[in-house]
Amino acid sequence: MTDETAASPTAPLSVDEVLAGMPAGMGALSDKMGITLLEVSADRVVATMPVEGNTQPYGLLHGGASVVLAETLGSMGSAVHAHPDKLSVGVDINATHHRAATDGIVTGVATAVHLGRSMTTYDVVITDERGKRVCTSRITCSLIPRERFSL
């Protein structure tokens, strides 16, 4: 790694490097939802999630499951941006559900909108296997100094 790459706050890390820095990986909820992290940097985070097991009573992908995926992606990107001096905590999320997904895998792509010293914001687009947009979300995270947490 060159000095230029090391100094870049958005230099890509491997998925394993990012997860190794998290006390509980992506967390128990992400594990239960079947979320698989594929790509992670402060600028862009990509993950997949199965529809099966994450549906509401009518067999459609649960809107809350889409929000869990979106929050996971935005939080992971924010955590990479905040590392090593700060931790990220979600403070706002919204979602618009465009179409139903009934089977297969959905893919979420979080793209940084703002990477500041005390706050980050990500747009998250979730699509089905045909590339059709299922959900659009926006998440904002606050960056808190590590010493304020007892992990």
What amino acid positions are annotated as catalytic residues? 71
Which residues, 6+ apart, have CB-to-CB distance to 78 below 8 Å? 42, 88, 120, 122, 141, 143
Into which CATH architecture does domain 3-148 fall?
A: Roll (3.10)
Number of helices (H) and strands (E), helices first, in the chain?
Answer: 4, 7
Residue 11 has pLDDT above 60, yes or no: no
> How do the domains of the chain map onto residue ranges?
3-148
* Model confidence pTM above 0.75: yes
- Across the chain, mean pLDDT equals 88
Label residue 64 by pLDDT band (50, 70, 90): very high
The burial of 6, by beta-carbon neighbours within 10 Å (0-12 exposed, 13-18 middle, 19 or more buried), is given as exposed
pLDDT tens digit sequence for 74-124: 999 999 999 889 999 999 999 999 999 999 999 999 999 999 999 999 999
